[in-house]
Structure 1
Protein backbone atom coordinates (compact mmCIF):
# COMPACT_ATOMS: atom_id res chain seq x y z
CA UNK A 1 0.00 0.00 0.00
CA UNK A 2 1.35 3.42 -0.90
CA UNK A 3 1.44 6.42 1.40
CA UNK A 4 -1.57 8.46 0.24
CA UNK A 5 -0.42 11.56 2.13
CA UNK A 6 2.79 11.76 0.08
CA UNK A 7 1.31 10.51 -3.21
CA UNK A 8 -1.81 12.66 -3.50
CA UNK A 9 -5.27 11.35 -4.38
CA UNK A 10 -8.60 12.39 -5.82
CA UNK A 11 -12.22 11.63 -5.03
CA UNK A 12 -15.35 12.12 -7.11
CA UNK A 13 -18.26 14.12 -5.69
CA UNK A 14 -19.96 11.07 -4.16
CA UNK A 15 -16.80 9.28 -2.99
CA UNK A 16 -15.19 9.07 0.44
CA UNK A 17 -15.60 7.08 3.61
CA UNK A 18 -19.38 6.92 4.24
CA UNK A 19 -20.59 7.18 7.82
CA UNK A 20 -24.12 7.47 9.19
CA UNK A 21 -25.68 8.17 12.56
CA UNK A 22 -28.74 9.94 13.97
CA UNK A 23 -30.30 9.96 10.50
CA UNK A 24 -27.52 12.04 8.94
CA UNK A 25 -24.88 11.05 6.39
CA UNK A 26 -21.23 11.98 6.55
CA UNK A 27 -18.59 11.55 3.87
CA UNK A 28 -14.94 11.72 4.96
CA UNK A 29 -13.17 13.47 2.08
CA UNK A 30 -9.78 13.99 3.78
CA UNK A 31 -8.45 12.39 6.96
CA UNK A 32 -5.36 12.24 9.12
CA UNK A 33 -4.21 9.30 6.99
CA UNK A 34 -4.68 11.05 3.66
CA UNK A 35 -3.25 14.46 4.65
CA UNK A 36 -0.39 13.39 6.88
CA UNK A 37 -2.27 14.81 9.87
CA UNK A 38 -2.56 18.33 8.43
CA UNK A 39 -6.35 18.57 8.24
CA UNK A 40 -9.59 16.63 7.84
CA UNK A 41 -12.65 17.38 5.70
CA UNK A 42 -16.04 15.80 6.33
CA UNK A 43 -19.05 16.48 4.12
CA UNK A 44 -22.19 16.62 6.22
CA UNK A 45 -25.33 15.76 4.27
CA UNK A 46 -28.67 16.82 5.79
CA UNK A 47 -26.61 17.76 8.83
CA UNK A 48 -27.67 17.65 12.42
CA UNK A 49 -28.07 20.80 14.45
CA UNK A 50 -25.07 21.00 16.77
CA UNK A 51 -25.58 22.44 20.26
CA UNK A 52 -23.16 24.92 21.79
CA UNK A 53 -19.78 23.29 22.33
CA UNK A 54 -16.07 23.96 22.41
CA UNK A 55 -13.11 22.09 20.86
CA UNK A 56 -9.87 21.78 22.82
CA UNK A 57 -7.81 20.37 19.95
CA UNK A 58 -8.80 21.74 16.55
CA UNK A 59 -9.98 24.76 14.62
CA UNK A 60 -13.01 24.30 12.34
CA UNK A 61 -13.93 25.91 9.04
CA UNK A 62 -17.39 25.35 7.58
CA UNK A 63 -18.05 25.76 3.84
CA UNK A 64 -21.75 25.71 2.94
CA UNK A 65 -22.67 23.83 -0.25
CA UNK A 66 -26.49 23.83 0.05
CA UNK A 67 -29.09 25.31 2.34
CA UNK A 68 -29.21 28.21 4.74
CA UNK A 69 -27.41 27.81 8.06
CA UNK A 70 -27.02 29.79 11.25
CA UNK A 71 -23.66 29.47 13.01
CA UNK A 72 -22.95 30.93 16.42
CA UNK A 73 -19.34 31.57 17.34
CA UNK A 74 -18.61 33.25 20.63
CA UNK A 75 -21.00 36.19 20.94
CA UNK A 76 -21.67 36.43 17.19
CA UNK A 77 -24.31 34.78 15.02
CA UNK A 78 -23.69 34.30 11.30
CA UNK A 79 -26.21 33.50 8.58
CA UNK A 80 -24.32 31.47 5.95
CA UNK A 81 -25.69 30.34 2.60
CA UNK A 82 -24.23 28.42 -0.35
CA UNK A 83 -20.64 29.37 -1.07
CA UNK A 84 -20.20 31.01 2.34
CA UNK A 85 -17.72 30.05 5.03
CA UNK A 86 -17.53 30.37 8.79
CA UNK A 87 -14.44 29.86 10.94
CA UNK A 88 -14.59 28.65 14.55
CA UNK A 89 -11.24 28.74 16.36
CA UNK A 90 -10.49 26.11 18.98
CA UNK A 91 -11.46 27.17 22.46
CA UNK A 92 -14.32 29.41 21.28
CA UNK A 93 -17.86 28.10 21.93
CA UNK A 94 -19.86 27.57 18.75
CA UNK A 95 -23.10 25.98 17.52
CA UNK A 96 -24.93 25.31 14.25
CA UNK A 97 -28.54 25.07 13.12
CA UNK A 98 -30.29 25.02 9.76
CA UNK A 99 -33.08 27.35 8.68
CA UNK A 100 -34.96 24.35 7.21
CA UNK A 101 -34.54 21.37 9.55
CA UNK A 102 -32.49 18.42 8.25
CA UNK A 103 -31.66 20.11 4.95
CA UNK A 104 -28.49 21.28 3.31
CA UNK A 105 -24.88 20.19 2.97
CA UNK A 106 -21.61 21.63 4.13
CA UNK A 107 -17.97 20.72 4.42
CA UNK A 108 -16.33 20.81 7.83
CA UNK A 109 -12.56 21.19 7.74
CA UNK A 110 -10.67 20.65 10.98
CA UNK A 111 -7.01 21.35 11.63
CA UNK A 112 -5.08 19.49 12.74
CA UNK A 113 -6.58 16.26 11.41
CA UNK A 114 -8.14 13.54 13.53
CA UNK A 115 -11.61 14.83 14.38
CA UNK A 116 -13.06 12.58 11.65
CA UNK A 117 -12.67 9.87 14.31
CA UNK A 118 -15.53 11.49 16.26
CA UNK A 119 -17.87 10.74 13.33
CA UNK A 120 -16.45 7.20 12.95
CA UNK A 121 -16.98 6.44 16.63
CA UNK A 122 -20.61 7.63 16.57
CA UNK A 123 -21.35 5.76 13.34
CA UNK A 124 -19.87 2.56 14.76
CA UNK A 125 -21.74 2.97 18.06
CA UNK A 126 -25.10 3.35 16.33
CA UNK A 127 -24.39 0.37 14.03
CA UNK A 128 -23.53 -1.70 17.11
CA UNK A 129 -26.78 -0.69 18.85
CA UNK A 130 -25.04 1.23 21.63
CA UNK A 131 -26.70 3.95 23.68
CA UNK A 132 -26.16 7.11 21.63
CA UNK A 133 -26.13 9.38 24.69
CA UNK A 134 -23.29 7.28 26.11
CA UNK A 135 -21.56 7.20 22.70
CA UNK A 136 -21.73 11.02 22.41
CA UNK A 137 -20.31 11.41 25.93
CA UNK A 138 -17.46 8.97 25.21
CA UNK A 139 -16.63 10.55 21.84
CA UNK A 140 -16.73 14.06 23.34
CA UNK A 141 -14.31 13.03 26.06
CA UNK A 142 -11.99 11.25 23.60
CA UNK A 143 -11.88 14.17 21.14
CA UNK A 144 -11.75 17.10 23.57
CA UNK A 145 -15.30 18.40 23.12
CA UNK A 146 -17.04 20.24 25.94
CA UNK A 147 -20.81 20.51 25.50
CA UNK A 148 -22.21 23.76 26.93
CA UNK A 149 -25.81 24.53 27.96
CA UNK A 150 -26.86 20.89 27.91
Structure 2
Protein backbone atom coordinates (compact mmCIF):
# COMPACT_ATOMS: atom_id res chain seq x y z
CA UNK A 1 0.00 0.00 0.00
CA UNK A 2 1.32 3.43 -0.93
CA UNK A 3 1.90 5.96 1.83
CA UNK A 4 0.08 9.15 0.91
CA UNK A 5 -1.22 11.89 3.20
CA UNK A 6 -4.87 11.65 4.15
CA UNK A 7 -7.23 13.68 1.98
CA UNK A 8 -10.32 15.50 3.21
CA UNK A 9 -12.87 16.13 0.51
CA UNK A 10 -15.87 18.04 1.84
CA UNK A 11 -15.90 20.30 4.85
CA UNK A 12 -19.17 22.18 4.35
CA UNK A 13 -22.59 20.74 3.54
CA UNK A 14 -22.90 23.00 0.50
CA UNK A 15 -19.66 21.65 -1.02
CA UNK A 16 -20.98 18.28 -2.13
CA UNK A 17 -23.73 16.95 -4.33
CA UNK A 18 -25.55 15.19 -1.46
CA UNK A 19 -25.16 17.73 1.31
CA UNK A 20 -23.75 16.61 4.64
CA UNK A 21 -20.09 16.40 5.51
CA UNK A 22 -17.64 13.91 4.04
CA UNK A 23 -14.11 12.97 5.01
CA UNK A 24 -11.99 10.67 2.88
CA UNK A 25 -10.32 8.16 5.20
CA UNK A 26 -8.56 6.16 2.45
CA UNK A 27 -8.23 7.45 -1.08
CA UNK A 28 -7.60 5.17 -4.01
CA UNK A 29 -4.12 6.69 -4.25
CA UNK A 30 -3.40 5.04 -0.91
CA UNK A 31 -4.84 1.67 -1.93
CA UNK A 32 -3.74 1.41 -5.57
CA UNK A 33 -7.36 1.89 -6.65
CA UNK A 34 -8.67 -1.01 -4.58
CA UNK A 35 -10.62 0.71 -1.79
CA UNK A 36 -12.23 4.10 -1.28
CA UNK A 37 -13.26 4.71 2.34
CA UNK A 38 -15.33 7.75 3.23
CA UNK A 39 -16.84 8.87 6.52
CA UNK A 40 -20.13 10.66 5.96
CA UNK A 41 -22.16 12.77 8.35
CA UNK A 42 -25.76 12.72 7.13
CA UNK A 43 -28.02 15.43 8.59
CA UNK A 44 -31.59 14.43 9.44
CA UNK A 45 -33.76 14.01 6.34
CA UNK A 46 -30.71 13.20 4.16
CA UNK A 47 -31.38 10.93 1.18
CA UNK A 48 -29.07 9.16 -1.27
CA UNK A 49 -31.46 8.27 -4.12
CA UNK A 50 -31.88 4.77 -5.50
CA UNK A 51 -29.07 3.84 -7.86
CA UNK A 52 -27.13 0.85 -9.20
CA UNK A 53 -23.36 0.43 -9.46
CA UNK A 54 -22.13 -1.84 -12.24
CA UNK A 55 -18.52 -1.90 -11.03
CA UNK A 56 -18.43 -1.50 -7.24
CA UNK A 57 -19.57 -3.24 -4.08
CA UNK A 58 -20.26 -1.08 -1.04
CA UNK A 59 -20.26 -1.68 2.68
CA UNK A 60 -22.00 0.73 5.06
CA UNK A 61 -20.98 0.73 8.71
CA UNK A 62 -23.28 2.85 10.88
CA UNK A 63 -21.21 4.69 13.49
CA UNK A 64 -23.94 6.91 14.96
CA UNK A 65 -27.67 7.36 14.51
CA UNK A 66 -30.01 5.31 12.36
CA UNK A 67 -30.40 4.88 8.61
CA UNK A 68 -32.83 3.13 6.34
CA UNK A 69 -31.31 1.30 3.41
CA UNK A 70 -33.20 0.04 0.40
CA UNK A 71 -31.43 -2.99 -1.06
CA UNK A 72 -33.26 -4.55 -3.98
CA UNK A 73 -36.75 -5.31 -2.68
CA UNK A 74 -35.69 -5.19 0.99
CA UNK A 75 -35.79 -2.28 3.44
CA UNK A 76 -33.18 -2.49 6.18
CA UNK A 77 -33.35 -0.44 9.37
CA UNK A 78 -29.75 -0.03 10.53
CA UNK A 79 -28.44 1.43 13.77
CA UNK A 80 -25.10 2.07 15.43
CA UNK A 81 -22.59 -0.75 14.85
CA UNK A 82 -24.64 -2.38 12.06
CA UNK A 83 -22.74 -3.28 8.89
CA UNK A 84 -24.59 -3.73 5.60
CA UNK A 85 -23.16 -5.21 2.40
CA UNK A 86 -24.46 -3.70 -0.85
CA UNK A 87 -23.33 -5.82 -3.81
CA UNK A 88 -22.89 -4.32 -7.25
CA UNK A 89 -25.74 -4.69 -9.69
CA UNK A 90 -28.50 -4.34 -7.07
CA UNK A 91 -30.43 -1.10 -6.63
CA UNK A 92 -29.90 0.62 -3.32
CA UNK A 93 -30.39 3.92 -1.54
CA UNK A 94 -29.99 5.28 1.96
CA UNK A 95 -31.67 7.88 4.13
CA UNK A 96 -31.48 8.95 7.74
CA UNK A 97 -34.13 7.60 10.10
CA UNK A 98 -35.71 9.41 12.98
CA UNK A 99 -35.05 13.00 13.84
CA UNK A 100 -31.27 12.80 14.06
CA UNK A 101 -27.98 12.98 12.23
CA UNK A 102 -26.24 9.75 11.24
CA UNK A 103 -22.55 9.03 10.77
CA UNK A 104 -21.52 6.20 8.45
CA UNK A 105 -18.38 4.70 7.00
CA UNK A 106 -18.78 3.86 3.33
CA UNK A 107 -16.33 1.30 1.93
CA UNK A 108 -16.32 1.14 -1.88
CA UNK A 109 -14.53 -1.81 -3.54
CA UNK A 110 -12.91 -1.36 -6.01
CA UNK A 111 -12.74 2.35 -5.35
CA UNK A 112 -11.09 4.16 -8.27
CA UNK A 113 -14.15 4.61 -10.51
CA UNK A 114 -16.37 5.68 -7.61
CA UNK A 115 -13.83 8.17 -6.29
CA UNK A 116 -13.68 9.79 -9.74
CA UNK A 117 -17.50 9.81 -9.90
CA UNK A 118 -17.75 11.33 -6.42
CA UNK A 119 -15.21 14.06 -7.22
CA UNK A 120 -17.04 15.02 -10.43
CA UNK A 121 -20.41 15.06 -8.68
CA UNK A 122 -19.02 17.22 -5.89
CA UNK A 123 -17.59 19.63 -8.46
CA UNK A 124 -21.03 20.25 -10.01
CA UNK A 125 -22.58 20.76 -6.55
CA UNK A 126 -25.98 20.51 -4.93
CA UNK A 127 -27.88 22.51 -7.52
CA UNK A 128 -26.83 20.58 -10.62
CA UNK A 129 -29.60 19.41 -12.91
CA UNK A 130 -30.79 15.82 -12.99
CA UNK A 131 -29.37 15.59 -16.52
CA UNK A 132 -25.91 16.73 -15.38
CA UNK A 133 -25.90 14.16 -12.58
CA UNK A 134 -27.17 11.39 -14.86
CA UNK A 135 -24.46 12.12 -17.45
CA UNK A 136 -21.70 11.73 -14.86
CA UNK A 137 -23.39 8.58 -13.58
CA UNK A 138 -23.45 7.06 -17.07
CA UNK A 139 -19.74 7.88 -17.54
CA UNK A 140 -19.00 5.90 -14.37
CA UNK A 141 -21.52 3.08 -14.85
CA UNK A 142 -23.73 4.28 -11.99
CA UNK A 143 -27.40 4.54 -12.89
CA UNK A 144 -29.84 6.70 -10.92
CA UNK A 145 -33.36 5.29 -10.77
The TM-score, its normalising length taken from structure 1, stands at 0.79
The runs of 5 or more residues in structure 2 that have no matched partner are: none
Deviations along 1:73-97, whole A, 9 cap, x unmatched? 1122111111111111000111111
| Coordinate RMSD, CA, aligned | 2.2
Structure 2 counterpart of 1:72: 70
Residue in structure 2 matched with residue 89 of structure 1 by the alignment = 87
By how many angstroms is 1:104 displaced? Answer: 0.9
Unaligned ranges ≥5, structure 1: none
| From 28, 50, 75, the counterpart of 1:32 | 28
Give the corresponding residue for 1:62. 60
Contact (CA 8 Å) 1:28, 1:116: kept in 2 or not?
Answer: no
Give the structure 1 partner of residue 109 of structure 2: 111
Provide the secondary structure at the position in 2 that maps to 1:18. Answer: coil
Partner of 1:122: 121
Which of 123, 140, 143 is the matching residue for 1:143? 140
State the distance in 1 between where 2:128 and 2:70 align: 28
Q: What is the CA distance between 1:118 and its match in structure 2?
A: 2.2
Q: Tell me what 1:17 maps to.
A: 8
CA contact (8 A) 2:42 2:96 kept: no
Q: 1:131 to 1:10 in 2, by over 3 A?
A: closer
Aligned 8 A contact 1:42 1:116 in 2:
no
Q: Secondary structure at the match of 1:6?
A: coil
Distance 1:118 1:100, change over 3 A: farther
Give the secondary structure class of the aligned counterpart of 1:69: strand
Aligned to 2:39: 43
Q: 1:71, CA displacement in angstroms?
A: 0.8
TM-score normalized by the length of structure 2: 0.82
